[in-house]
Structure 1
Amino acid sequence: MPPSMPTPSMRIPIETLAQAPFSQFGTVIENPAQSAGARSPSPSSSATALPANQGSALKYLDVTHLSNLYTLAPSQKPSRATMNMFVCAPRNLRAHEPSASMPSSWGDIDIDEDEDEDSSLHKQLFDVRILERHPFTTQTFIPMGLAQAERHTQYLVIVAPTLPASASRRRTGRPPPYPTPKVTRLRSITDIFARARPSPFTNEAAPPPNQMERLHPSARPKGPGLPDLKNLRAFIATGNQAVTYGAGTWHAPMVVIGDRPIEFVVVQFANGVGAEDCQEIELKPDSKAEEGLVVTVESDVSGRVQVKAGVGSIKAKL
């Protein structure tokens, strides 16, 4: 059984998946030429485009950030690149019920305010019961066979920031479930002097760049903290978008909404040590919570999921 933590009662509005709002959690991979004008540019849109395949193709470089941080893992067991396939069935959603719950950090939005405004919208609820993370690797989900204009089947990307470790201990009463590497203390005189700049042993005037500083911010280690549930986010993706979760990013298992399963090719690193490859936390509504964490899913007559917050929102208020 995974460890658990208490959750507040909140309803989370859905946002459009775009790089700008998603940047702290990872990267969005999409063809810049086909991305909607309302979206912020993805990393690939600013990358260099080179002709390839005898001029019949464009090659975009570095469209996502891959990280292998297993050298920080306590076991020190080497990892290897893996490519798996997840066939994700549509999730069971429950019937919509009015609630006084606040929708995450979007305090200016009342999801249930216009309950009878548009009776053509089909309103349902998805309960977020578990989050997971991969502390030492990025994880890229690439959907297969899902058209950009697909209306009857889509998928949600649900993520949360990481709390400071001290706050995590207060919320659970025990250390967080995260393997923290041991700190090596510098004991010898040589080690102590080696930290000085200018160095007495070299001509370097500045310390060498830290390995983590070279990484994209979303790909750096997030630390041992538990998920920040009050800032949980839910994004709706189109069929021409793939997503990379940064190392250690808390996220829900993929949530497919619609008529049929979606096949995802998943690329990551793994070393076969369970607690280092994947960690889960169960979300249980606390005694004062009405229903826990809930994503409100509203779709039109065609099945298209409606955006309620962020870029492209149809209900955001000034």
Structure 2
Amino acid sequence: MPTSMPCPSIRIPVEQLTPSSFAQFGTVIENPAHANRPPPNNDFVPKSVSANQGSALKYLDVTHIANLYNLAPSKKPAKAVMNMFVCAPRELRPHEPSNSMPSSWGDIDFDDDDESASVNAQRELFDVPILERHPFTTQTFIPMGLSPYEKHTQYLVIVAPTLPASASRRRTDRAPPYPTPHKPQRRSIKDVFARARPSPFTNESAPPPSQFSRLHPSQKPKGPGLPDLKNIRAFVADGSQAVTYGAGTWHAPMAVIGDRAIDFVVVQYANGVDMEDCQEILLKPDARAEEGVVVSVESDSSGKVLVKAGPGAAIKAKL
């Protein structure tokens, strides 16, 4: 049975999935030439070279893949695996007013009529009862057969930062479900001298850099903490985008919104040890909560999910 944590009532607005907005949690894979919005700066545009005798443009390092299973307690090696998830559309419930606490976007009024909103817009709610993470591996979801121009089916990417371990202990009656590796306190004489500057065993003037220094920020271990629900975020993606969750990133299981299922090819590492491959946390509304963690999903008359927060969003906030 997964560990559970109490949660307040909180409603999350939907943002557009972009490389810059998602950088804290992982990477977005998309063709920069066909992206429906200009990149904010060159940091998020992969380098490209000509390939296939000039008939193709090859973008380099479009996502970050990490295998951190050397940190797992079991030390069992992992292998690269590729699976397919056929994700059916999620059930949404009708919109109803709520006194939910503000999310990281502030006290956005989801219940007040917005002059810029379409009169035919449909407001619905998606409940988030569980989050999961893969502490020692990245996980890439690649949608198949979904047109970038299809308005009737999209998917939500719901992610949360990680709380410090000290804060996590105050929010649940059990220890955080992260199998942190054991760090031996005693070191051999060789280990002590190996850390000296200069090293007696090499010609280097300093020890080699940590393996983590070469990793993208989203790839680095997140620590043993529980999800930071006050800063949970929800992004909407279309068929032109794939997404990579950074190792240890708390996220909801893939949520398809629309008329039909989406086939995802999923690439990750796994070693077959349950608690090292995947960890889950149940979000249970506390005694004073009306509903728990909820994504507010607003769609236009064609069924396209509307962006309500972030760049380009038209929202009305309570002042």
Cα distance, 1:56 vs structure 2: 1.2
Against the structure 1 CA distance between its residues 87 and 239, is the aligned structure 2 distance closer, same or farther, given a 3 Å change threshold? same
Cα distance, 1:300 vs structure 2: 0.5
1:193 aligns with 2:181: no
Distance 1:109 1:133 in 2: 28
1:273 aligns with 2:305: no
Alignment of 1:103-142 (within 5 A): 103-114=102-113, 118-142=118-142
Contact in 2 for aligned 1:105/1:230 (Cα 8 Å): yes
Alignment of 1:1-318 (within 5 A): 1-40=1-40, 46-114=45-113, 118-315=118-315
Deviations 1:92-150 (A, max 9, x none): 00010011213411114211122796431100000000000000000000000111111
Distance 2:300 2:84 in 1: 30
Contact in 2 for aligned 1:161/1:232 (Cα 8 Å): yes
Cα distance, 1:197 vs structure 2: 1.6
Cα distance, 1:198 vs structure 2: 2.4
Distance 1:78 1:35 in 2: 38
Q: CA RMSD in A?
A: 1.8
Contact in 2 for aligned 1:151/1:302 (Cα 8 Å): yes
Distance 1:303 1:144 in 2: 20
Distance 1:199 1:274 in 2: 40
Contact in 2 for aligned 1:13/1:103 (Cα 8 Å): no
Amino acid at match of 2:103: S
Cα distance, 1:40 vs structure 2: 3.6
> TM-score, structure 1 length as denominator?
0.95
Contact in 2 for aligned 1:128/1:295 (Cα 8 Å): yes
Cα distance, 1:202 vs structure 2: 3.6
> TM-score, structure 2 length as denominator?
0.95
Cα distance, 1:185 vs structure 2: 2.7
Amino acid at match of 1:278: C
Distance 2:66 2:189 in 1: 34
- Count of aligned positions: 317
**Secondary structure at the counterpart of residue 113 of structure 1:** coil
Higher alpha-carbon deviation: 285-294 or 194-203: 194-203
**Secondary structure at the counterpart of residue 132 of structure 2:** strand
Distance 1:246 1:290 in 2: 32
Amino acid at match of 1:256: V
Cα distance, 1:214 vs structure 2: 0.7
Higher alpha-carbon deviation: 61-70 or 111-120: 111-120
Amino acid at match of 1:223: G
Higher alpha-carbon deviation: 58-67 or 308-317: 308-317
Cα distance, 1:316 vs structure 2: 5.7
Amino acid at match of 1:176: P
Distance 1:203 1:118 in 2: 68
**Secondary structure at the counterpart of residue 21 of structure 1:** helix
Amino acid at match of 1:59: K
Deviations 1:125-179 (A, max 9, x none): 0000000000000000000011111100000000000011111111113210111
Distance 1:172 1:11 in 2: 21
Deviations 1:252-310 (A, max 9, x none): 00000000000000000011111111000000000011111110000010111010000
Give unmatched runs, 5+ long, in structure 1: none
Higher alpha-carbon deviation: 73-82 or 186-195: 186-195
Higher alpha-carbon deviation: 254-263 or 199-208: 199-208
Q: Give the % identical residues.
A: 71
